[in-house]
Amino acid sequence: NVPNVFTAPIVIMLSPSRKDFISLSLTEQGGGNYTNAKQWRRQSCWRKWKQLSRLQRCTVLVFIVLLLICGIAAYPSITGNQTDEPVYGSQSLPAYVLISYLCFVGMTKLEAVREAFRHAWKGYKEFAWGHDELKPVSKSYGEWFGLGLLKTLVAAELSFNKNVDVNLFESTIRILGGLLSTYHLTGDSLFLDKAKDIGIRLMPAFNTPSKIPYSDVNIGKGTAHPPRWTSDSTVAEVTSIQLEFRELSRLTQDPRYQIAVNEIMKHIHKLDGKQDGLVPMFINTNNGQFTHLGVFTLGARADSYYEYLLKQWIQGGKKEVELLEDYLQALEGVKKHLVKQSSPLGLKFVGELSHGHFSPKMDHLVCFLPGTLALGAHHGLPAEHMELAKQVMESCYQMYAQMETGLSPEIVHFNMHSGSTQDVDVKPADRHNLLRPETVESLFYLYQFTKDKKYQKWGWEIFQSFNKHTRVPTGGYTSINNVSRPG
């Protein structure tokens, strides 16, 4: 669950809201009636403004803002000793961030979303081309495992024959999944060939005594091992690689990929250590047993296990009964042990259970759940799943709406005591935002299946908050340290 550092949440399904005009009122000093000449002048100005292109209108508005900023900068008594050096995180973003943000005036919402994607891509292209990730604030780059994937892919020279250790989960969802998706979008067999190549190179990770894969694999040497510090893997990682490997088998007609990942699900299906379908967070790759028993969460290290149960069932034509059984049983466990209600608004949220003790802690990662519940209901599962989806979706939205920046923190604690004045409490260490996508993806599902426009509205609000507080003028979007302190 690593955030993409150079893209912004862009899944918004909103109808245009035209705000690309200026209203001019021309009146005599001291009042009086309009004359025909004045009416003509007003209409003439209006027509001239409307004849300008959106780009021209945006340029005019930016010019006006620049004049205002220059005027303010000329008065130290107003600006004090503040500096123009951009400081991110707990400090305010520089004023010039608002200039590019104002260019959304006159755009439709769809155009604004497209512009945000282009802005993210611009930063990557200018400062990190050919590298694994953009560092937008420092205008530099970082390496994930240094394969130079994008640069070589463009030249059609991508090779995975390199002596480097990679993480099985990350390589599956990013590289294998990306190649399979590109193949489906383009129909170009080159991408399927490359997907098969990386798939074969990842297979040594499954050569374990328990069939629970190792986390790390050397794609050049064909060797694999657990992390240096433990023989455990997280349950989320080993159960969230199935969709890609199953699809690779379907496309290549080679069953070995699907067999390997299906063995994991069959093993966990019959494994002891669950509580009403809820699974612990860790599993040992040597003996195949759950570890750190008694701790249950839908947050980090367990979240996507539940999501992928449903999606595998759908992917397989709804024929794999064990997957559906595990999903439905887990939802009953969630409702029995983890779903509670906050005060004063009565928000339904999903907490955690540790050795029988409930905690009202909810990760932002848990906001995958409304979308998953809605997807299941859409595919014929009980209608009550959709009702729970709507209720938890409201709570995820409030995690944004109740923050001063309009952005959710990484973790919240819900208040359950009567007399509370605020539903959501945030601890100092949890106030950061990492540009996570779970909430906006769930909003996408909820709108698609219900057509309730409030989900469009919520998505647009969140999108605007990201643009206001995380957008870097030179390209890209950055995490912020404190969602409780507006920039």
Taking alpha carbons only, the member of 95, 102, 101, 130 closest to residue 8 is: 101
Task: Give the separation between CA 139 and CA 29, rounded to whole angstroms.
Answer: 52
Average pLDDT, the chain: 85
The dihedral formed by the CA atoms of 104, 109, 115 and 116, expressed in degrees to the nearest 10: 90
Is the confidence at residue 239, as pLDDT, over 90? yes
Task: Give the separation between CA 172 and CA 177, rounded to whole angstroms.
Answer: 6
Instruction: Identify the band that residue 65 occupies on the pLDDT scale cut at 50, 70 and 90.
Output: low
Is the confidence at residue 456, as pLDDT, over 80? yes
pLDDT at residue number 60: 72
Count Cβ atoms within 10 A of the Cβ of residue 220 and give its class: 0-12 exposed, 13-18 middle, 19 or more buried.
middle
How far does CA 189 lie from the centroid of its chain? 29
Instruction: Identify the band that residue 17 occupies on the pLDDT scale cut at 50, 70 and 90.
Output: very low
Taking alpha carbons only, the member of 74, 42, 143, 61 closest to residue 102 is: 61
Of residues 292 and 19, more confidence is placed in 292
pLDDT at residue number 5: 40
| 477 DSSP β-pair partners | 471
What phi and psi values does residue 358 have, to the nearest 5 degrees? -85, 140
Task: Give the separation between CA 484 and CA 240, rounded to whole angstroms.
Answer: 33
pLDDT at residue number 88: 39
Is the confidence at residue 434, as pLDDT, over 60? yes
Is the confidence at residue 327, as pLDDT, over 60? yes
Is the confidence at residue 366, as pLDDT, over 50? yes
Of residues 33 and 354, more confidence is placed in 354
Is the confidence at residue 16, as pLDDT, over 60? no
Task: Give the separation between CA 103 and CA 64, rounded to whole angstroms.
Answer: 12
Instruction: Identify the band that residue 6 occupies on the pLDDT scale cut at 50, 70 and 90.
Output: very low
Kindly report which listed range (22-36, 44-58, 207-221, 440-454) carries the lowest average pLDDT score: 22-36
Q: Is the peptide bond before 437 cis (omega within 30 degrees of 0)?
A: no
Q: What does the pLDDT average to over 299-325? A: 98
Tokens of 101: 């943000």
Q: What does the pLDDT average to over 451-472? A: 97
CA angle at residue 260 from 255 to 263, to 5 degrees? Answer: 120
Q: Which residues are catalytic?
A: 170, 303, 410, 438
pTM of the model: 0.79
CA angle at residue 241 from 238 to 242, to 5 degrees? Answer: 105
Residues 6+ apart with CB under 8 A from 234: 281, 282, 283, 301, 302
Amino acid at 77: S
pLDDT at residue number 149: 62
Task: Give the separation between CA 208 and CA 204, rounded to whole angstroms.
Answer: 9
Taking alpha carbons only, the member of 367, 341, 337, 365 closest to residue 353 is: 337
Q: What does the pLDDT average to over 189-209? A: 95
Q: What does the pLDDT average to over 405-418? A: 97
Is the confidence at residue 385, as pLDDT, over 80? yes
Q: What does the pLDDT average to over 257-273? A: 98
Tokens of 296: 């249950």
Is the confidence at residue 454, as pLDDT, over 90? yes
Kindly report which listed range (67-81, 209-223, 310-324, 387-401) carries the lowest average pLDDT score: 67-81
Q: What does the pLDDT average to over 311-334? A: 99
Q: What is the domain partition of the chain in residue ranges?
A: 124-469
pLDDT at residue number 48: 62
pLDDT (tens digit per residue) in 82-124: 333 333 333 444 443 444 444 444 579 999 999 999 999 999 9
CATH code given to domain 124-469: 1.50.10.10
Is the confidence at residue 188, as pLDDT, over 70? yes
> Crossing angle of helices 321-333/256-269, nearest 10°?
40
pLDDT at residue number 319: 98
Count CB-CB contacts under 10 A for residue 255: 12
| 296 DSSP β-pair partners | 353
Kindly report which listed range (42-56, 198-212, 299-313) carries the lowest average pLDDT score: 42-56
Task: Give the separation between CA 267 and CA 273, rounded to whole angstroms.
Answer: 12
Amino acid at 460: W
